[in-house]
Amino acid sequence: MSSSEVKLPYGTITGKKLIMQFSAFDMDLPVIAAGIRERMDVLREIGVAFSGFGTEIPADISEQSPAILKAFFEYVGSGGQPAAVLKQAYHLIWSGMIQNFPSLTEWAEAKADLSNLTIAQAEVIRARKGE
C-alpha cells in the first residue's frame, strides 16, 4: 500500500480515485446502483463523479469464490483533500444503499424469483441440448 493509498473496509482510495468492491455473494448490482443513485446529487455537490461498474471474475471461480462487483468514482472537484472527499463519498454511498435496501420479505421474494428464473433457464438449456 503506497502512502497515497487509503484502505477502507470495502474499497480503496488511490489519488483521486475510489474503487468500492463487493462480493457477489453479499450484494447485488441493483442494490449498489440504488445506493449510488440515492446519493448522486450529493456526490455531484462534493465533486465526485461516478465512473461505472465492473466485475472481476476470479480465474478459479467456484461456489466458494464469487465474482467481485466494483464501483468506480473519481474526485473531479478543485482544491481540498481528494482522499477526505472520497472517504465521505464512500460513507454516503453505503448510507444510500442501506436507505434503499429492500425489506426482508421483498429481498426473500426477489431471491426466490431469481432462483426460479435460474432453474427455468437451466431447463431450457437442457431441452435444447436434448438431455
Q: Is the confidence at residue 1, as pLDDT, over 90?
A: no
CATH class of 5-100: alpha beta
Predicted local confidence at residue 59, as pLDDT: 76
**pTM of the predicted model as reported, rounded to 2 decimal places:** 0.76
CA atoms of 68 and 83, how far apart (whole Å): 23
Predicted local confidence at residue 61, as pLDDT: 67
Predicted local confidence at residue 73, as pLDDT: 98
Per-domain boundaries in the chain: 5-100, 103-131
Interstrand relation of 68-75 and 17-23 (parallel, antiparallel or unpaired): antiparallel
Predicted local confidence at residue 92, as pLDDT: 95
pLDDT digits (tens, 9 = 90+) for 42-92: 999 999 999 999 888 777 766 677 788 999 999 999 988 999 999 999 999
Query: Per this entry, what is the length of the chain?
Result: 131
Between 67 and 15, whose confidence is greater?
15
Q: Is the confidence at residue 18, as pLDDT, over 80?
A: yes
**Separation in Å, CA 54 to CA 22, 82, 90:** 11, 22, 17
Q: What's at 36, amino acid-wise?
A: I
The terminus-to-terminus CA distance of the chain in angstroms comes to 51
User: How remote is the C-alpha of 103 from its chain's centroid?
Assistant: 19
